Amino acid sequence: MKLEHLRIFDAVAMAGELAEAAAQVGRTPAAVSMTLKQIEDDLGGPLFEGGRKSRLTPLGAYVLGRVRTVISDYDGALLNIRHFARGENGLISLAAVPSAATRLVPIAFAELRKWRPHAHLELRDIDSAAVTEAVASEDADFGIAGGSPAENGPSAELLLEDPFMLVCPAGHRFAAASKPVKWSDIDPAEFIANGVCSRTSSPELSALAAQSPLMLHNTTSLLGFVAQGFGITVLPALAAPESGAFRTVPLADGSVSRRLNLLTRRGESLTPLSQALLESVREVSVRFASIFANR
């Protein structure tokens, strides 16, 4: 029995007569009558009392309830499929390093929600290695990770070169610097090393980190020590704080940066909605790149 046959029966039951129902479904009364006969033959009993089609038999009433459920479920499923295909609804699973999760993703998702208001997002705020693993294991649709991509890992596309900035307390002498700070201007005794120092190719930064009396791997702890006056540090611009307790100052060595990559699984397409967010992340990253270039 075809879905079209069920729609015709529903139309007749609603109209109470063949002619009006036939007009609604775009068929002749004879064709509608033949369809009803086929349904009755298939079910083994009459759907209507008498020939006027104005009153359902008990079988007809039972069938009508089930038919309307089937039609509603089918139409709802088809609508959801169309929305999904157009990227209008669904769940996006994204894994990102903390700085990208804090600075890039909220803006990108806000832009997406302007024209995809039913989009849902599951965001994992994790380190680069965990981002790579989440994408590879299909726990995330795509990811944003720092550093050099693994050769056998997910496909990596350069998203943003995130320049390093000097971070100091608001009252520090560098806070009022009128020009970028040189490595030679920094006293190793007041430099607080952190995990990103070892992931650059700068010999000057490596030397500062080696002489530092403090090494902190957690950004929250690092900023706590800076706020308490223990010293100064460097961080990628996206990870640098923007509150009044800190100042971020450009470095004269503009070559020191962190590479942020978009990670996707090789040979696999994203859902339309995930692809839309990925495009939004790209657009937001271009804006940040312009801001960084003009500092």
**Alpha-carbon distance 131 to 142, whole Å?**
9
Residues 6+ apart with CB under 8 A from 230: 192, 214
pLDDT at 143 over 90: yes
| DSSP secondary structure string for all residues of 39-93 | HHHHHTS-SBSSSS--SB-HHHHHHHHHHHHHHHHHHHHHHHHHHHHTT-EEEEE
| Terminal C-alpha separation, the chain | 69
38-64 confidence digits (pLDDT tens): 999 999 999 999 878 889 999 999 999
What's residue 47's pLDDT? Answer: 92
| DSSP secondary structure string for all residues of 134-154 | HHHTTSSSEEEEESPPPTTSS
**Alpha-carbon distance 9 to 217, whole Å?**
69
CB 280 within 8 A of CB 112: yes
Across the range 105-112, mean pLDDT stands at 97
Residue in the structure block whose two tokens are 């109209």? 15
pLDDT at 87 over 80: no
pLDDT band at 265 (very low <50, low <70, confident <90, very high): very high
pLDDT at 150 over 80: no
Query: Which superfamily is assigned to 89-159+258-293 in CATH?
Result: Periplasmic binding protein-like II (3.40.190.10)
| Mean pLDDT score across all residues of the chain | 91
What's residue 73's pLDDT? Answer: 92
Running DSSP on this structure, what letter comes out for residue 240? S
pLDDT at 189 over 90: yes
Classify 3-85 by CATH class. mainly alpha
- Alpha-carbon distance values, 76 to 24, 81, 273 (Å): 21, 9, 19
**Alpha-carbon distance 278 to 112, whole Å?**
10
Give the domain ranges of the chain: 3-85, 89-159+258-293, 162-257
Q: C-alpha 80: how far from its chain's center? A: 19
pLDDT at 158 over 90: yes
What's residue 46's pLDDT? Answer: 92
pLDDT band at 134 (very low <50, low <70, confident <90, very high): very high
Which CATH fold topology does 162-257 show? Answer: D-Maltodextrin-Binding Protein; domain 2 (3.40.190)
Q: Half-sphere exposure of residue 190, counting CA atoms within 13 Å on the CB side?
A: 18
Of the candidates 209, 211, 205, 207, the one whose C-alpha atom is nearest the C-alpha of residue 222 is 209
pTM of the entire structure? Answer: 0.76
Q: Is the dihedral of CA 97, 252, 289, 156 positive or negative?
A: negative
pLDDT band at 83 (very low <50, low <70, confident <90, very high): confident
pLDDT at 18 over 80: yes
What's residue 178's pLDDT? Answer: 85
224-262 confidence digits (pLDDT tens): 999 999 999 999 999 998 778 899 999 999 889 999 999
What's residue 200's pLDDT? Answer: 80
Across the range 66-75, mean pLDDT stands at 92
Across the range 170-186, mean pLDDT stands at 91
Across the range 34-41, mean pLDDT stands at 92
What's residue 147's pLDDT? Answer: 83
Range scoring the smallest mean pLDDT among 30-39, 174-183, 238-247 = 238-247
Q: Half-sphere exposure of residue 124, counting CA atoms within 13 Å on the CB side?
A: 22
Q: Does 162-257 match 89-159+258-293 at the fold level? A: yes
Running DSSP on this structure, what letter comes out for residue 197? G
